[in-house]
Amino acid sequence: MWFFRGLLLVPFGFMAPEIISLVLGRPGSVANVSASTADVLGTSSLLLFVMMLTVTPVHTVTGWRWHLILRRDYGVAMFFTAGTDLTLAALTTGDTFSGGPLGRIAGHIFLVFGTLSVFLLLPLTLTANRPAMHWLGGHWKSIQRLTYVLWVTILIHLGFLFGLSSIFLDALAVSAPLALLRVPLVRRWWHSARKTRSHRLLRVGAALALFGLFSIGYSQLVHELATKGTAAFVQQPPRD
């Protein structure tokens, strides 16, 4: 459990040297953060979102419950990571986007969807606790369903950025199995087949195919984070 929780610190570990330089006002620090923030914190936010979305399908397929608490942990960590991305973008990306702080977070359609995604995380995070759950009663589930809107706004953000290529395709590859395993019919079938121990071969085959597709997208995203994160850590971000 603590290994999975430890992963939540990775984005800030990568960005720490650049952020410290920024706070200390070192030369070049604004340009470095400007070049890194979306790459490192954007990719991290996406990976955290994917990990959060993976919790329920893993329960559907395996029946495990020990990991369910990670859904909240990853969601809250995503809020802090994406919130930091938005803050740093508003402060530092003047070399790329004109129009002051507002232009830097909403000056292009893809920026609007990135910013909107962060704002959608606000109600999700504020209500990710037991007191809020009791207080909101039946409305709690409706608020948590904003996760699906967030899923769409993130895909639109990436669609506008990358078109039908690279990271957008990776995001689709990880999304497809996670979406399929949420379809009520599929979910109910899997639950009951697991409980009655029927259709074993079909379940193993389907799980392998879905895991294979997921892994293709996920490994590319991890590779992206490792490359851009390491460059940010040594304060040599690629300026493309």
Q: How far is CA 224 from the centre of its chain?
A: 13
Residue 15 interacts with ligand HEM (CB under 6 A): yes or no:
no
Biggest alpha carbon–alpha carbon distance for the chain: 64
Residue 229 interacts with ligand HEM (CB under 6 A): yes or no:
no
Out of 43, 84, 125, 175, the only residue in the binding site for ligand HEM (CB under 6 A) is: 43
Q: Which positions from 108 through 167 interact with ligand HEM, judged by CB under 6 A? A: 111, 114-115, 117-118, 154, 157-158, 161, 167
CB of 221 to ligand HEM, least distance (A): 7
Closest CA to 49 of 74, 21, 19, 16: 74
Q: Which positions from 167 through 186 interact with ligand HEM, judged by CB under 6 A? A: 167
Residue 55 interacts with ligand HEM (CB under 6 A): yes or no:
no
Q: Which residue has the tokens 């914190």?
A: 41
Q: Where are the alpha helices (DSSP H) in 63-199?
A: 70-92, 100-106, 109-126, 130-136, 139-144, 146-162, 166-180, 184-195
Q: How far is CA 75 from the centre of its chain?
A: 8
Binding mask 69-108 for ligand HEM (x = CB under 6 A): -------------x--xx--x---------------x---
CB of 64 to ligand HEM, least distance (A): 26
Report the distance separating Cα 116 and Cα 150, nearest Å. Answer: 8
Q: Which residue has the tokens 């590319």?
A: 220
Q: Closer to ligand HEM at the Cβ: 80 or 189? A: 80
CB of 45 to ligand HEM, least distance (A): 4
Alpha carbon distances (Å) from 81 to 37, 49, 96, 192, 206: 10, 11, 21, 37, 33
Residue 11 interacts with ligand HEM (CB under 6 A): yes or no:
no
CB of 191 to ligand HEM, least distance (A): 30
Q: Which residue has the tokens 């992963």?
A: 7
Q: Closer to ligand HEM at the Cβ: 49 or 214? A: 49
Residue 29 interacts with ligand HEM (CB under 6 A): yes or no:
no
Please count the other Cβ atoms lying within 10 Å of the Cβ belonging to residue 85: 26
Using CB under 6 A, list all residues that contact ligand HEM.
38-39, 42-43, 45-46, 49, 82, 85-86, 89, 105, 111, 114-115, 117-118, 154, 157-158, 161, 167, 224, 228
